[in-house]
Amino acid sequence: MAIGNFDGVHLGHEKVLEALRRVAAGTPTIALSFYPHPIKVLRGGIEPRCLSSVREKAQRLGELSIDILYLVHFTKDFARMSATQFIDDVLVRALGVSAVVVGEDVAVGHNREGTRDFLVQELPKRGIALHLVERYELDGTRPGSRAVRSLVEDGDVRAAARLLGAPYMLSARVGHGDKRGAALGFPTANIAVGRRLIPKRGVYACRVEVLGHTYDAVANIGIRPTFSGMGERLEVHLLGFLPQSLYGRRMRVNFIERLRDEKRFGSSDELRAQIAADIDSAQKILTHD
């Protein structure tokens, strides 16, 4: 078993998971994580905008050949559980694990008392082997959920992808919009992102997976100032997509590069010309990506 929150499943997480697969040597592998995010419980209901939903986390772990995502329901009672209790009740009695793999910043139990040193001392007493994964850096930067979150918020999805080992992505169902894109000649799919972290407002070159196919795409994140829009939206125009209804379909949007800021245009014709230019820019980027 590997223990962590695994938000975004970045390259630092991948090093832990690589070690887990080596240790497992063919036996089932488990990634233990928590839901909801511990910060929501510990800070009185303030939920962070996560890099990945539970569905996306499970999907990514599956792509990395991890067999089971074991979600612990994180409650106030669970937060008060001592590190010793966590080991005995969860690792020993509930799961019967034979080995645990952790990174350098792991901590379990009340007030994070179960540090790596604690686990080194306590796990062998219960017949559980502990494997420590040393700090990993990429060009002097330590991949971490906080670092990735900051890059995404700044719109630097290219740099975020380097730390993630894959493009930053959102997976959600297509909802109904106001059909303004179709009226301009560029129909868009409106994505309901909920509490997910979305990149900085602007226009992005993307790759989109839907209906079993992958399409180049241009996405706009913002409030549509040309039409006095209200509320932030993610709208995606798929290139080379044959017109058909996508309402209710699950779509995965992979953000490749930010093209420009969102801005207000003086007319629909100006906006139409800019969208065409954005499509051209996106195609050049995606052709060479």
Number of H helices, E strands in the chain: 10, 11
The span from the CA of 215 to the CA of 194, in Å, is 23
CATH number of domain containing 217:
2.40.30.30
Q: Does residue 114 lie in a domain region?
A: yes
**What pTM was computed for the model?**
0.87
The span from the CA of 115 to the CA of 101, in Å, is 13
Whether residues 9 and 111 fall in one domain = yes
Q: Does residue 228 lie in a domain region?
A: yes
The span from the CA of 170 to the CA of 150, in Å, is 16
Q: How many domains does the chain have?
A: 2
Q: Does residue 221 lie in a domain region?
A: yes
Whether residues 270 and 179 fall in one domain = yes
CATH number of domain containing 21:
3.40.50.620
Q: Are 141 and 163 in contact (CB under 8 A)?
A: yes
Which CA distances in Å does 22 have to 17, 32, 33? 9, 17, 20
The span from the CA of 257 to the CA of 254, in Å, is 10
Whether residues 191 and 283 fall in one domain = yes
Whether residues 221 and 105 fall in one domain = no
Q: Does residue 54 lie in a domain region?
A: yes
Predicted confidence at residue 234, as pLDDT, reads 92
CA angle 70, 100, 58 (to 5 degrees): 30
Whether residues 180 and 226 fall in one domain = yes
104, 132, 160: which is the final residue of a domain? 132
Whether residues 227 and 280 fall in one domain = yes
Phi-psi region of 194 (alpha: psi -120 to 50; beta: other; left: phi over 0): left
132, 150, 185: which is the final residue of a domain? 132
Predicted confidence at residue 289, as pLDDT, reads 80
Tokens at residue 256, please? Answer: 């490749």
From first to last of its 289 residues, the chain has per-residue pLDDT tens of: 999 889 999 999 999 999 999 999 889 999 999 998 888 888 876 777 889 989 999 999 999 999 999 999 999 999 999 999 999 999 999 999 999 999 988 899 999 999 999 999 999 999 999 999 988 888 888 888 889 999 999 999 999 999 999 999 999 899 886 656 555 668 889 987 777 899 999 999 999 999 999 999 999 998 765 445 555 789 999 998 877 888 899 999 999 999 999 888 877 888 889 899 999 999 999 998 8
Predicted confidence at residue 154, as pLDDT, reads 97
Q: Does residue 152 lie in a domain region?
A: no
**Residue carrying the six token digits 């297509």:** 174
Predicted confidence at residue 49, as pLDDT, reads 82
Which residues fall within 8 angstroms of residue 246, CB to CB, at 6 or more apart? 174, 189, 210, 211
**Residue carrying the six token digits 């019967």:** 96
Q: Does residue 105 lie in a domain region?
A: yes
Beta bridge partners, 238, equal: 217
What is the enclosing helix (H) or strand (E) of 147? helix 145-153
What is the enclosing helix (H) or strand (E) of 41? helix 38-42
Whether residues 184 and 264 fall in one domain = yes
Whether residues 175 and 74 fall in one domain = no
Q: Does residue 144 lie in a domain region?
A: no
Whether residues 255 and 175 fall in one domain = yes
Q: Does residue 248 lie in a domain region?
A: yes
Predicted confidence at residue 179, as pLDDT, reads 58
**DSSP label at 200?**
P
Predicted confidence at residue 184, as pLDDT, reads 67
Whether residues 82 and 189 fall in one domain = no
Range of the domain at 267: 168-288
Start-to-end C-alpha separation, the chain? 35
Whether residues 8 and 117 fall in one domain = yes
CA angle 182, 183, 185 (to 5 degrees): 60
Whether residues 17 and 101 fall in one domain = yes
Predicted confidence at residue 183, as pLDDT, reads 56
83, 105, 132: which is the final residue of a domain? 132
